Amino acid sequence: MNDAKSKLMSPTVATRLPHSATWTFFEGDWHEGNVAIMGPRTHAAWLGSMVFDGARTFDGLAPDLDRHMARINESARRFRLKPLVSEDEWMGLTRDGVKRFAPGAALYVRPMYWPDTGAAGGGVKFDPDTTCWCLCLYEAPLPGARNLAITLSPQRRPTIETAPVDVKAGCLYPNNARALFEASERGFDNCLLLDMLGNVAELANSNVFMVKDGVVMTPAPNGTFLDGVTRQRTIQLLRDAGETVVETSLRYADFEQADEIFSSGNFAKLSAITRIDQRELQPGPLFRKASELYRAFAEVSSL
């Protein structure tokens, strides 16, 4: 067998690709690197039947880790997979995994469920009894302050009747990737996606807020986008601090006229939007207040 063919067929090729420091708990043990956990017959690799969640640890903190672990199990139930790991077990494994990295490292924490095979060994309908799972932790620095330009995407968010938008499912993200590619080709960092009624749903990879005349507004969950954990926390923190936060239907024109725009998501937490189309914006007082409140909350969320 020639070397090229040998490398193509080797099951360990994936572990040699460049990645940040990574540890994955799979089939009863921790494994270092990008472990090969799916094959060509795995239903999830073939037909996208995988759910996951994303939590964060940084500086020894783990804000809302319990909510993320509750959501992965709820996603599994809604997707017809079997949630085999209790929330306490997910939490314990995360604590164990964090010890394999440098103290205080900024990590992405990703629990996952997927079916191994289809019903009767094949086909679109998967077999819930073949549910597999893993927990992957890897180094991922928190993005710092940055200039972020957004525009309107031609892509739309699906509805609950057309896609599993009530879970954090991998099959939803290729559409978001299409939106990001299209926006990038026009010189933007991100984009707002509309729902099928023409209302703003979210950014391509995070939830979105805007401020007008001192009032914080954000799209109301309507079955077209995930009501993010960080989104929920931000709303609660601002309301508890006496700020008005309105969940409502918003059009793109509302964002074009906003005083402030910012995003919320697990990976970057809170980020200010500094341009919409050709209109420049500045990180405003309510974005800064939300960021300070979230950091103060995180400071008491030790792992």
pLDDT number for residue 11: 45
Verify that 192 and 111 share a domain, yes or no: no
Verify that 67 and 164 share a domain, yes or no: no
Residue in the structure block whose two tokens are 């954000």? 218
Residue 188's CATH number: 3.20.10.10
pLDDT number for residue 16: 55
pLDDT number for residue 1: 39
pLDDT number for residue 17: 58
Verify that 153 and 135 share a domain, yes or no: no
Verify that 91 and 208 share a domain, yes or no: no
- Asked if the structure places residue 289 within a domain, the reply is yes
More confident residue, 97 or 2: 97
More confident residue, 14 or 126: 126
Domain count, the chain: 2
Per-residue pLDDT tens over the stretch 147-190: 999 999 999 999 999 999 999 999 999 999 999 999 999 999 99
Residue 204 to residue 223: CA distance in whole angstroms: 16
**pLDDT tops 50 at residue 42:** yes
Verify that 128 and 179 share a domain, yes or no: no
- Asked if the structure places residue 46 within a domain, the reply is yes
**pLDDT tops 80 at residue 264:** yes
Residue 74 to residue 49: CA distance in whole angstroms: 15
**pLDDT tops 50 at residue 2:** no
Verify that 180 and 102 share a domain, yes or no: no
- 30: tokens are 């921790």
Averaged pLDDT of the chain: 93
Verify that 177 and 129 share a domain, yes or no: no
Per-residue pLDDT tens over the stretch 102-135: 999 999 999 999 999 987 667 899 999 999 999 9
Coil, strand or helix: which one is 231? helix
**pLDDT tops 80 at residue 276:** yes
Find the mean pLDDT for residues 48-64: 96
Residue 273 to residue 192: CA distance in whole angstroms: 11
pLDDT number for residue 122: 74
**pLDDT tops 50 at residue 223:** yes
Domain boundaries, position 112: 3-139
Find the mean pLDDT for residues 58-77: 97
For the ranges 5-14, 56-65, 223-232, 278-287, which has the lowest average pLDDT? 5-14
Verify that 115 and 243 share a domain, yes or no: no
Find the mean pLDDT for residues 34-59: 94
Residue 42's CATH number: 3.30.470.10
Which of 139, 168, 202 is the last residue in one of the domains? 139
**pLDDT tops 70 at residue 15:** no
Confidence of residue 282 (pLDDT cuts 50, 70, 90): very high
Which of 105, 120, 139 is the last residue in one of the domains? 139
- Asked if the structure places residue 144 within a domain, the reply is no
User: Pick from 171, 42, 94, 227: which is nearest to 86 by CA?
Assistant: 94
Burial class of residue 101, CB neighbours in 10 A (0-12, 13-18, 19+): middle
**pLDDT tops 50 at residue 22:** yes
Verify that 46 and 108 share a domain, yes or no: yes
Verify that 120 and 239 share a domain, yes or no: no
Give the helix/strand (H/E) hosting 110.
strand 107-115
Per-residue pLDDT tens over the stretch 199-220: 999 999 999 999 999 999 999 9
- Asked if the structure places residue 162 within a domain, the reply is yes
Verify that 164 and 244 share a domain, yes or no: yes
Find the mean pLDDT for residues 30-56: 95
- Asked if the structure places residue 303 within a domain, the reply is no
Are 241 and 250 a contacting pair, CB within 8 Å? no
